[in-house]
């Protein structure tokens, strides 16, 4: 009797995971675009992968990876001297746990440090506990670690017809903007870090986005 119950439980878990895969594919598509919009480059997978191909890859290696960002110089000769070790790194991972607490966040922080990543994205299908939120807040002045529920990434908000196009400016582009209009940074319109667009771009204090 107990064995039958265990088998039924295992069957339900497998069925739930299978049912979740199409949702995770949509999340992955949004994540790939988010990474691109943040000016990172992820070379492991092709963002145009079909669901069938993505499913084959996901079953071997669940959503996890490191993205690299190297500012490309305008001088083509300088491109040859780019050092991958100078790249900024973005860590991302999907956690299946029903509850994400301090222990799980510490695991992600450890993985980020091992990868020398200064930013991280955690995708969850469960609940981020108050202890988990506290752990993220504790390291906020050192690294940027964001947590998204899969429901937030099922649809890419930047592709909504009522949302204007936003473009993250580089430090050089921001300085050119301030110089052009002869203004200071604190004179620019403000956007809260809790704004969905700000969260999508991973905006920090001092970042500037251009609305087109």
Each residue's pLDDT tens digit, 68-78: 665 544 454 55
Q: What is the pTM of this model?
A: 0.81
Q: In terms of Cα–Cα distance, which of 51, 64, 61 is closest to 25?
A: 51
Tell me how far CA of residue 29 lies from CA of 54, 71, 82, in angstroms: 10, 24, 29
Structure tokens belonging to residue 34: 């988010």
| Mean pLDDT in residue range 29-42 | 87
d(CA 104, CA 95): 8
Bridge partner list, 198: none
The answer to whether the CB of 201 falls within 8 A of the CB of 209 is yes
Say whether 191 sits in a helix, a strand or coil. coil
Q: In terms of Cα–Cα distance, which of 13, 117, 7, 103 is closest to 64?
A: 117
Instruction: List, for residues 91-136, the tens digit of each pLDDT value.
Output: 999 998 899 999 999 999 999 998 888 899 999 989 999 999 999 9
- pLDDT of the residue at 83: 56
How many CA atoms, within 13 angstroms, populate the side-chain half-sphere of residue 101? 4
The residues, ordered by sequence, that sit 6+ positions from 111 with a Cβ below 8 Å of its Cβ are 91, 93
- Is pLDDT above 50 for 11? no
**Angle of CA points 22, 25, 27, to nearest 5°:** 115
The residues, ordered by sequence, that sit 6+ positions from 30 with a Cβ below 8 Å of its Cβ are 153, 154, 155, 156
d(CA 200, CA 153): 9
Phi, psi torsion values for 29, nearest 5 degrees: -60, -45
Looking at the chain, the whole-number percentage of residues with pLDDT higher than 90 is 50
- pLDDT of the residue at 60: 78
């Amino acid at each position: 009797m107990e064995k039958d119950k265990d088998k039924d439980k295992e069957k339900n878990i497998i069925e739930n995971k299978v049912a979740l895969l199409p949702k995770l594919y949509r999340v992955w598509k949004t994540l790939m675009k988010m990474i691109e919009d943040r000016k990172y480059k992820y070379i492991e997978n092709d963002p145009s992968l079909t669901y069938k191909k993505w499913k084959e890859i996901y079953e071997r290696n669940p959503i996890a990876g490191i993205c690299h960002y190297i500012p490309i110089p305008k001088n083509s000769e300088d491109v040859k001297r780019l050092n991958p070790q100078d790249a900024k790194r973005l860590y991302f991972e999907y956690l299946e746990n029903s509850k994400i607490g301090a222990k799980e966040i510490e695991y992600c922080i450890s993985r980020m440090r091992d990868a020398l990543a200064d930013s991280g994205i955690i995708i969850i299908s469960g609940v981020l506990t108050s202890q988990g939120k506290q752990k993220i807040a504790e390291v906020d002045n050192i690294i940027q670690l964001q947590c998204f529920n899969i429901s937030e990434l099922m649809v890419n908000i930047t592709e909504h017809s009522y949302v204007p196009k936003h473009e993250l400016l580089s430090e050089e582009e921001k300085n050119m903007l301030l110089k052009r209009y002869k203004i200071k940074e604190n004179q620019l319109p403000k956007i809260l870090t809790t704004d969905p667009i700000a969260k999508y771009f991973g905006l920090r204090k001092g970042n500037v986005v251009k609305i087109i």
